[in-house]
């Protein structure tokens, strides 16, 4: 069951200042679509700069899949973070006069997946490698899965918090990494609360499953909509975005174990991917390699330990050398009711929940418990709003209803909210608790229930495009708050010049460059 945190929280209340300086970053993905709701066939707009080197505006899998990124420097002000992300959306909206930003995680109308254009990053070795990596993803998982979009939330806690929570003044990077690993293990145990509350992909367009088999019993309107009545996030389910063929058992009990498992996957051939081959009959490269993972970026999990880096060293090497700097939450659906895909309430709830995860149950996680936790996540994704739904605890040894667990967790979150509100001088965090506890008492308040009702009433495409047009209209007419037009023009110019410089300085042939990536 959930450990009693009362003593820990009482002690933390004496030192609210230790929670000042929480840092956050957001990466929001969104498809560019035509005004009829179909995927655009245009290249990444030149007016948005170089997707290879732009600090804030890039692409993910496809030319049409935008990724808007807040600065990688520390941002400890939620208002600044949201306004910065809003400015990115405002600028993009001004440039996409004939296109719109798709407001759902599950894709728009795709008439022919073969026409989805892989993201291009120029003729440099690093640019060609990035495109080849995406070609490998397409050949391994299919292009349809790769254009599912989401929001990534980067989160780090201040040193003062780790000193107090771990009871050490002279804290080391190993101590901090151990604290983040505790957070990650508990996110696996209880993080399904995020898709329950904020999952917003209970339905999808019928074109997504065209020609593909599933054992899920979807309901349909016989035209364009497929849905599951109690689903919260098809994106996070087995039908969505995951490493279907190669599920890796990360228990996050130590950083060395995590990196060793990751290295093993990156250097071990996969029978399935060997069948794809490295080259086709015309000698064109099909993937970076035939290993379980082409690179560490191919690991699709709800949360990952991370470290900022501008070097050529793989992130996993830096993790071992310097420790975990922050965590990346990857289980957020796009919020269709927000112009920027996420809102203030969600950010504040994530703060509360991630702090709670760092304080609770520090026990190690067995593979059996990991598998049980995965089943819980999939259960919530597919039927999270089902009446009297039960969740497995302690690796399946115990069961508890979703409502009971939710209330138990919120008891602690309320206490944490009061501490954070002491720092802020308001009641924003407590208001968030008051709002979201009602989602457990009434599942019809969840994002998934609300958007499913609209989709079933108005249609999948109609709902999406009404939201997209509304978001576009609001963003286009809003003034920039943090950035200026000159900031965007300067970044546009610098990103293009930077790409040209990289291409000019490339002196290694592409084949030798690929060989140099593996050592």
This prediction's pTM: 0.95
Q: Measure the CA–CA gap between 335 and 330, rounded to whole angstroms.
A: 14
Strand ranges in 60-163 using DSSP code E only, listed in sequence order: 65-69, 100-101, 151-156
The residue with tokens 């108005």 is 458
What pLDDT does 317 receive? 84
Please identify every stretch of the chain with a pLDDT value under 70, giving residue numbers as ranges: 1, 73, 211, 241-246, 310-314, 518-519
What pLDDT does 512 receive? 85
DSSP 385: T
Residues facing residue 65 across a β-bridge: 31
The pLDDT tens digits of the residues spanning 312-322 come to 566 788 899 99
The pLDDT tens digits of the residues spanning 471-489 come to 999 999 999 999 999 999 9
What pLDDT does 312 receive? 57
What pLDDT does 440 receive? 96
Q: Measure the CA–CA gap between 479 and 477, rounded to whole angstroms.
A: 7
Terminus-to-terminus CA distance in the chain, angstroms? 44
Which tokens hold the place of 88? Answer: 């990115």
Q: Which uninterrupted H or E stretch holds 204?
A: strand 203-205
What pLDDT does 514 receive? 84
Q: Measure the CA–CA gap between 197 and 382, rounded to whole angstroms.
A: 13
């Amino acid at each position: 069951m959930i450990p009693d945190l009362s003593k820990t929280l009482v002690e933390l209340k004496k030192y609210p200042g230790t929670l000042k300086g929480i840092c956050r970053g957001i990466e929001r993905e969104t498809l560019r679509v035509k005004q009829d709701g179909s995927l655009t066939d245009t290249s990444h707009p030149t007016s948005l700069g170089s997707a290879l080197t732009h600090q804030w505006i890039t692409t993910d899998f496809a030319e049409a899949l935008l990724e808007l990124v807040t600065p990688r420097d520390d941002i400890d002000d939620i208002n600044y973070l949201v306004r910065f992300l809003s400015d990115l959306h405002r600028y993009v909206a001004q440039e996409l006069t004939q296109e719109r930003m798709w407001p759902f995680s599950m894709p728009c109308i795709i008439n022919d997946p073969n026409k989805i254009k892989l993201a291009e990053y120029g003729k440099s070795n690093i640019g060609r490698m990035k495109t080849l990596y995406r070609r490998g993803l397409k050949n391994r998982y299919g292009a349809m899965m790769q254009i599912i979009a989401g929001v990534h939330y980067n989160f780090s806690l201040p040193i003062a918090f780790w000193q107090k929570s771990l009871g050490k003044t002279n804290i080391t990077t190993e101590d901090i990494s151990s604290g983040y690993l505790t957070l990650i293990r508990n996110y696996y145990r209880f993080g399904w609360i995020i898709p329950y509350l904020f999952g917003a992909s209970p339905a999808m367009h019928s074109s997504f499953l065209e020609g593909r088999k599933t054992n899920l019993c979807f309901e349909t309107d016989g035209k364009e909509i497929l849905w599951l009545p109690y689903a919260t996030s098809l994106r996070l389910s087995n039908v969505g975005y995951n490493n279907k063929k190669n599920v890796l058992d990360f228990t996050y009990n130590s950083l060395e174990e995590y990196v060793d498992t990751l290295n093993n996957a990156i250097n071990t051939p996969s029978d399935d991917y060997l069948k794809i081959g490295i080259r086709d009959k015309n000698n064109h490269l099909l993937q970076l390699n035939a290993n379980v993972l082409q690179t560490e970026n191919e690991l699709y999990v709800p949360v990952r330990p991370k470290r900022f880096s501008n070097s050529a060293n793989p992130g996993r090497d830096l993790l071992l050398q310097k420790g975990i700097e922050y965590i990346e939450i990857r289980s957020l659906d796009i919020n269709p009711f927000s112009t920027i895909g996420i809102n203030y309430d969600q950010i504040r709830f994530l703060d509360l929940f991630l702090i709670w995860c760092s304080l609770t149950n520090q026990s190690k996680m067995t593979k059996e418990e990991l598998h049980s936790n995965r089943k819980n996540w999939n259960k919530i994704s597919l039927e999270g709003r089902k009446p009297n739904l039960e969740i497995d605890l302690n690796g399946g040894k115990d069961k508890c209803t979703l409502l009971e667990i939710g209330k138990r967790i919120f008891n602690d979150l309320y206490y944490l909210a009061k501490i954070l509100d002491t720092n802020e001088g308001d009641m924003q965090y407590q208001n968030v608790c008051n709002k979201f506890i009602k989602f457990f008492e009434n599942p019809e308040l969840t994002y998934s229930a609300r958007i499913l009702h609209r989709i079933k009433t108005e249609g999948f495409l109609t709902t999406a495009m009404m939201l997209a047009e509304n978001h576009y209209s609001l963003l286009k007419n809003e003034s920039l708050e943090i950035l200026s037009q000159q900031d965007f023009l300067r970044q546009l110019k610098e990103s293009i010049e930077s790409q040209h410089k990289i291409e000019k300085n490339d002196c290694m042939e592409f084949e030798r460059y690929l060989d140099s990536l593996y050592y």
